[in-house]
Chains A and B, each alone.
Chain A
C-alpha cells in the first residue's frame, strides 16, 4: 500500500552482515556501559549532542512562558512582590529562631565553635525538559560540568528533596527524581528516628516505604527526613509526609505510602547543592570509598578540622546570600557567629 517506491526487488546482500556488525557493537556498548567508569565520557559526549534537540523540543513552551511573564501587568507584579516580601519576613523570623537553636545545639554538642551549615553553596538550575510517566521520572536541567555539577549530586526545590543527578553533560544534567521507580532514598521518621528506605512509585505524588515491619511505629502525618546514609543526601532534609499505613495481619511488612514535599509537577527551577565534606550532617557513604568526581564520598574527617578548613568552591560560586529566597539552609544567618 504505502510503498509505491518500485525499488529493488532483490534482497540487500549485506543485510545480515550489517546486522551482525551493529548488533555486536550495541552489545559491546552495553557491556562497557555496565562495567566501565570511563564510559561516562561517551555519555557525556552524547548528552552534549542531544542537548540542542532537547532545547528545541522544549522551546515552544519556554517561549510561551516568557511571553506570559513579559506581558504580566504591573498589578500582578506588585501583588507578587508584596507576597514575597511577606514571605521573606516570615523566613527571617524563622531564621532568627534558627540561630538561637543552632547555638543551643552547639552547646549541647559541646563544640567550641559553631559549625557552618552543611550546605556550602547552591546553584539554581532551570528545568529544560521533563519526562514524567509511570516508568521514568527524570528532568533535564540546564547546568552541567561547566558549572561544576557532578554525578550523584543532591537536587532540592524550595519545599524538599527532589532527586539527584544521574548523567552529567557539559551544559546539561539529567536528574532522577525521588519518585522514579528506580530511585530509593534512605529516610528517617522525624518523630521516632526510625530509619528506612523510601522508594519511588512512578507517581509524582507518592513514595512507598516497603521495608517497614508491620509493628513499626509509624503513622499517617509522620515527617520523613533524609537520614544521611547512602552517600548522596545529607541528613535532615525534608522528603515527605506519611499519608497511609496499612497493616495486614498476614503480611510481615506494613504497606506505607508517603507524599513528597517537592513539587515535581510544577517546578521550573531547582537547586543544586554542594555539601561541606566532613560535616556531621554531610552524606555518609556505606563503604567510605572515594569515588572519582564526588568529593562528598570522601571519608569523614573530624568535625573541627573540617569546619575550619572548608575547601573553596570549585566552580562559579553563587553565594548563599545572592541566590534564592526559599533556600533550604539559612546559611547567612548561621555563619555570623
Chain B
C-alpha cells in the first residue's frame, strides 16, 4: 500500500514509448497497438493512487513530440481516458477478461476520437480509416499486455 509501483510505471512507460516509435514495416505499423496508451491504462486501473494521470500527461506529451501535429493533444486524450480508468478502476478490475477488452476498446476509441477531433479543429484532418485500426488490435492485445505488466508489478512485492 505504502509503496506505489512508480519505478515500474516509468520503466514500462518508457518501453511502451519505444515500442510505439520503433520503426516497423508499413503493413505492421498499421496494426501496431498504442502500447503506451495500454500501459497508462493498465497502471490507472492497477494502481489508481500512484499518479496515473500525471503519467498520462507526460506520456501524452512525449507522444505529441514524436507523432502529434499539435503539442498537447495526445496529453489531453490520454489524461481523459486515464481519469475514467482511475475513477472506474474497481468496476473494470472485477470484470472478466473479455469484458475488460471491450472496455479497453471503448477507451481507445474515445482516445482516438479526441485526437481525430483535435486534428480536425487545428487544421490537420486525417480522415484515413486506417487510423482506427489500432483500437481493435489494442483491445485484442490487452490481455497479454496486462499480464506482462502485472508480472512486472508482482515481482516487487
- A residues within 8 Å of B by Cβ? 1-5, 7-9, 11-12, 15-16, 18-19, 22-23, 25-30, 33-34, 39, 42-43, 46-47, 49-50, 53-54, 56-58, 61, 129-136, 181-182, 202
Question: Which chain B residues border A29 with CB–CB below 8 Å?
Answer: 61, 71-72, 75
Cβ of B57: which chain A residues have Cβ within 8 Å of it? 22, 25-26
B54 near A18: Cβ-Cβ < 8 Å: yes
In the docked arrangement, what's the CA distance between A61 and B23, Å?
A: 10
When distances are taken between beta carbons in the complex, the residues of chain A under 8 Å from B73 are 26, 30
Q: What are 15 A-B pairs at a CB distance below 8 A?
A: A2-B42, A2-B143, A3-B45, A3-B93, A5-B46, A8-B1, A8-B48, A11-B90, A15-B86, A19-B53, A23-B79, A30-B122, A42-B71, A131-B21, A135-B128
| Cβ-neighbour of B61 out of A1, A2, A46, A134 (below 8 A) | A46
Residues in B neighbouring A8, C-beta threshold 8 A: 1, 48-49
- Whether A22 contacts B53 by the Cβ 8 Å rule is yes
User: A25's closest neighbor in chain B, by CB?
Assistant: B57
CB neighbours of B136 from chain A (8 A) = none
Q: Is the CB–CB distance between B150 and A2 below 8 Å?
A: yes
Cβ contact within 8 Å between B66 and A1: no
Q: Is A15 within 8 A of B75, CB to CB? A: no
Provide the residues of chain A in CB contact with B14, threshold 8 Å. 53
Task: Given the known inter-chain contacts A5-B46, A7-B46, A129-B23, please indicate yes or no for A12 contacting B86, CB distance below 8 A.
Answer: yes
Nearest 3 CB-CB pairings of A with B: A29-B72, A26-B76, A19-B83
Size category, B interface:
35 or more
Residues of B in contact with A (beta carbons under 8 Å apart)? 1, 14, 17-18, 21-23, 26, 29-30, 42, 45-49, 51, 53-54, 56-57, 60-62, 64-67, 69-73, 75-76, 79-80, 82-83, 86-87, 89-90, 93, 96-97, 100, 118, 122, 124, 126, 128, 130-131, 143, 146-147, 149-150, 153-154, 157
Q: Majority SS of interface residues in chain A?
A: helix
Contact assessment for A15 and B48 in the assembled complex, using a CB-CB cutoff below 8 Å: yes
Establish whether residues B56 and A22, one from each chain, have CB atoms under 8 Å apart when the complex forms: yes
Q: Measured between alpha carbons, how far is A33 from B130 in the docked complex, in Å? A: 26
CA distance A23 to B79 in the complex (A): 6
Interface contact B128-A202, CB-CB below 8 Å: yes
Chain B residue nearest to A13 in the complex (CB):
B49
User: Assuming A27-B76, A135-B128, A182-B69, is B122 touching A34 (CB within 8 A)?
Assistant: yes
* Contact between chains at B71 and A12 (CB < 8 Å): no
Cβ of B146 and Cβ of A15 under 8 Å apart?
Answer: no
B20 to chain A, nearest CB (A): 10
Please name all residues of chain A whose beta carbon is closer than 8 Å to the beta carbon of B17 when the two chains form the complex: 53
Chain A residues lying within 8 Å of B48, measured Cβ to Cβ, are 7-8, 11-12, 15
